Amino acid sequence: MCELCGDANHQVPVSRRSVLLAGLGLGAGVLVGCNQIPTLEPDVPATLELQAVAAPSIAGTSAWNARPSSSPVVLTGAKPDKIIVHHTNDQNTTDYSQTRAYTLARNIQNFHMDSNGWIDSGQHFTISRGGFILEARHRSLETLNSQANMVSGAHCPGQNDIAIGIENEGTYMTTLPPQAQYDQLVTFCAFICQQYGIASDRIYGHRDFIATDCPGDMLYAKLGQLRRDVATKLGTGNTISRVWVTTKKPDTGERVRTVQYLLKSRGYAVTADGVFGTGTENVVKSFQTSKGLTADGIVGRYSWESLVVNVQSGANGDAVRAVQSQLKARGYAITVDGAFGTGTANMVKSFQTSKGLTADGIVGPDTWAKLTS
């Protein structure tokens, strides 16, 4: 007998059960429909599932031909407890190339060593306006990967042994960073938070600790959004109360078709044929990479949460087709035409009522999760 729901006709494997309960943080009574046990992404321990953010590409000091430090850098022997965001106060160049990024890294190191008299670059990392992430002070990357140690920096008095410093190329008093640079800042902060177990609300601006314009009025004002974006990337931005059913190769059926429609709605070239083949898998991997997720081609909860879009009356297109096709597969008399009119809205409301959701006719994440369960 199932220990979760008492159904005599099925059993929950012990390994799966523990993973489910640990991963979802749910009591047994919350799991419904145990005869359709949802699987997680992929079937691994919950602690590993928190590794949602793939390592971004980071150019080490050797890549940009750094000078050796004038004396060995010092390791603190402990993890940092925060991230501090800086701007370099440089011109806002429109040279977004890797060459420019490497030149920038060398210029900063030369200035910090030759003018400031420091042993090496002061900050741990740099992000160029083109979105290139570079190790600045030697061993910053090695210690980030160790998840247990950091290099003592020289970027913010009082914080150098407890805060990772990121210099963002440019001056952000009256303008925001280019999108590519901001996106990389989000991804990289999320990765650092993940590596060291730092909460996303512990991302600060230089001016939080000392009288300075840094990181600029505009970028400083954006830090709230940065913390929220990092939380979303880490999967801590929302409580995971939704149960998502993992979909992967070689699954077939309506759930696969939903994935395909949603990918199409995002501009990916994929056929909504309900067959999860290699083509769909490759598109899923591209999508995951674009969202900073592990590109494993498996649509689990993090991928679902990133994939779904809210649709409601007046919407058109493939995301609407996904909703209509799901409703049709569930017996609703609906035409899959991609136009979200009154008829579709009424059927969505009816579906929501049947699942105990608020019948507002808006297909948000909770409704998507039920539609694909």
Q: Which CB, 215 or 300, lies closer to Zn ion?
A: 215
Which of 185, 214, 309, 369 touches Zn ion by CB under 5 A?
214
Nearest CB to Zn ion, comparing residues 206 and 321: 206
> Which one of 112, 129, 138, 206 is in contact with Zn ion (CB under 5 A)?
206
Q: Which stretch binds Zn ion (CB under 5 A): 99-107, 115-123, 185-193, 201-209?
A: 201-209
Q: Put the strands of the sheet holding 58-59 in their side by side order.
A: 58-59, 133-135, 125-127, 163-168, 82-87, 203-205
At 225, which amino acid appears? Q
**Cα separation, 28 vs 334, whole angstroms:** 35
Contact between 59 and Zn ion by CB under 5 A: the answer reads no
Q: Considering the complex, what minimum distance in angstroms separates the CB of residue 206 from Zn ion? A: 3
Using only the alpha carbons of the chain, give its radius of gyration: 24
Closest distance between Zn ion and the C-beta of residue 221, in Å?
Answer: 16
Window contacting Zn ion (CB under 5 A); options: 69-77, 81-89, 195-203, 217-225? 81-89
Find the part of the chain contacting Zn ion (CB under 5 A) among 40-48, 115-123, 210-218, 265-273.
Answer: 210-218
| Cα separations in angstroms, 257 against 157, 199, 294 | 55, 36, 22
How far apart are CB 212 and Zn ion at their closest, in Å? Answer: 6
Q: How far is the CB of 149 from Zn ion (least distance, A)?
A: 23
Q: Residue 86, interface with Zn ion (CB under 5 A)?
A: yes
Residue 38 or 215: the one with the smaller Cβ distance to Zn ion is: 215
Angle value at C-alpha 79, between 73 and 83, nearest 5 degrees: 90
Place of tokens 């997720």: 293
**CA atoms of 161 and 81, how far apart (whole Å):** 9
| 242 belongs to the binding site for Zn ion (CB under 5 A) | no
Kindly indicate which of the ranges 178-186, 206-214, 223-231, 260-268 contains the residues binding Zn ion, using the contact rule CB under 5 A.
206-214
Judge whether 303 and 288 are in contact, CB under 8 Å: yes
Q: Extract the tokens encoding 4.
A: 């979760």
Specify the DSSP class assigned to residue 56.
P
Residues lying near Zn ion in the complex (CB under 5 A): 86, 206, 214
